[in-house]
Amino acid sequence: MNVDARVEAWASLQLLPGLGARSLVTLLKHFGGPLELRAATRKSVAALASAEVAAAIERGPDPSLLERTLEWLREPGHRLVAWDDAEYPRALLAIADPPPAFYYVGRPELLTHDAVAIVGSRNATPQGVEHAQAFAAALSAAGLTIVSGLALGIDAAAHRGGLSAAASSIAVVGTGLDRVYPAGNRDLAQRLASEGGLLSEFALGTPPLPENFPRRNRLISGLARGVLIVEATLNSGSLITARLAAEQGREVFAIPGSIHSPFSKGAHRLIREGAKLVETAQDVLEELGVRAEPTAMGTGSEPITRAGSLPKEGPAARVLAALGHDPAGIDLLARRTGLSAESITVALVELEVAGRVVSLPGALYQRRD
C-alpha cells in the first residue's frame, strides 16, 4: 500500500490509547479528516473531547508501534481502509457503530460484494461441518461472499466452502492481523489472505482477548445481508452474532437439527424467535432475492452428499433403520434391533465406511442422509 500522509494520519489515530470510536467520529466530523485532526491544537480538541484525549492526540501513538504498523502496510496486499475510501463497505456504514478504519489483507473488491455470514459452533458435528461447507460453496457460487470469524468448526468450514467458488470468503478476526487465532487455522488464514480476505479493526499485536470477539461479531453481521446459523448451543457466541444481525436489520437464518442434539438448541431457539428455517442454500437465496445462475457447481438447491448406497438387508440395514435421524448409542441400538453389541459395532463400522453414518462425541452415531 502507498503509505502517504493521509494513511499515516489514519494509522496514528487508530493506535492512540484511550481514543474510542465515538470520540474519534465526533472529532473527525468537526475537523474534516485525519490530517486536520492530527494538526489541530490541543485546546481545540479539548473543546470537543476530554483533556486526556486531547493530550493523547497531541502526543501521538507509540513511535515503535506506528513504525511497525507502517512497515506492515507497505507489504503487498496490506491495507488500511477508512471511511473515505471507495472500497470501504457501504454495508458497514449502515450499522450503529462502524469502525472509522480497519486493517485488511486480501482482495479489496470483495469488500464491496454482497455477502452472507455463516457462523456456528466451534465443536461442530461432522454433519454440521458438511452443511456449513456445502451451503457456503453454493452461496459463493451464486455470487455471495461468505463472511465468518475464522474459528474452528463451522466458521472454518464456511471459509473453505466460500473459497471453493467465485465469490470467495472474508474472515473478520478478533486479533491484530499479524496474529492467527486459533493457530490451527494458520494455513486457512494464509489461503484467505491470498484468495479471499482477512479483516480486523484491532491494532497489530492485539492478542485474542475475550472482549474482542463480541466487537468482532458486529462486523461479521454488519458486512452481510443475512446471517446463517448452522449449529449452536444455547451459550454459543453465534447467538450474539444473530442478535446483532437482527438489531442491524439483517436477515437471520437457521438450519434445524435433531431435538436431542445440544448443537441444535441454539438454532431452534432462533427459529422460535423468528429466524427463517432453511434446508437448502436455495432457501437463503430466495429470501435475499438473489437469483443463482446454473454453474458447474449447481445452483445450491441440491442436497450435497457423498454417501454410499443404502444396504438393503443384513445387520447394517437393520442398524441403519433403527438409527433413524437422531443420535443413538450401541446400547439403544441393541434394544431396537435385538442384535448383539458386537454385531452392531461391526455394522456401524461398515456404515461409517460407506458414508451412511457419522460418529459423534459420547460414543453416539447419526445418519447422514
Q: What is the CATH number of the domain that holds 326?
A: 1.10.10.10
Within a domain: 96: no
What's the CA gap between 342 and 284, in Å, rounded? 43
Shared-domain flag, residues 128 and 277: yes
Within a domain: 47: yes
Shared-domain flag, residues 170 and 267: yes
Within a domain: 93: no
CATH of the domain at 114: 3.40.50.450
Within a domain: 325: yes
What's the domain range around 243?
A: 108-288
Whats the size of the chain, residue-wise?
369
The pTM of the full predicted model, rounded to 2 decimals, is 0.82
Within a domain: 33: yes
Per-residue pLDDT of 279-303, as tens digits, reads 999 999 999 999 865 443 333 444 3
Specify the number of domains making up the chain: 3
% residues pLDDT > 70 (the chain): 94
Residue 24 identity: L
Helix (H, G, I), strand (E, B) or coil at 359: strand
Instruction: Return the bridge partners of 366, or none.
Output: 358
Q: Please, are residues 121 and 238 in contact by the beta-carbon 8 Å criterion? A: yes
Q: Please, are residues 236 and 243 in contact by the beta-carbon 8 Å criterion? A: no
Per-residue pLDDT of 42-101, as tens digits, reads 999 999 999 999 999 999 999 999 999 999 999 999 999 999 899 999 999 999 899 999
pLDDT exceeds 50 at position 305? no
Using pLDDT thresholds of 50, 70 and 90, give the confidence band for residue 369. Answer: low
Per-residue pLDDT of 67-77, as tens digits, reads 999 999 999 99
Helix (H, G, I), strand (E, B) or coil at 118: strand
Least confident of 207-211, 302-306, 312-316: 302-306
Within a domain: 74: no
Residue 2 buriedness (CB in 10 A; 0-12 / 13-18 / 19+) = exposed
As given in the structure block, the three cell numbers for residue 90 are 457501504
For residues 182, 169, 148, 114, the Cα torsion angle rounded to the nearest 10 degrees is 160
What's the CA gap between 34 and 40, in Å, rounded? 10
Shared-domain flag, residues 31 and 180: no
pLDDT exceeds 90 at position 126? no
What's the CA gap between 317 and 319, in Å, rounded? 5
Shared-domain flag, residues 268 and 320: no
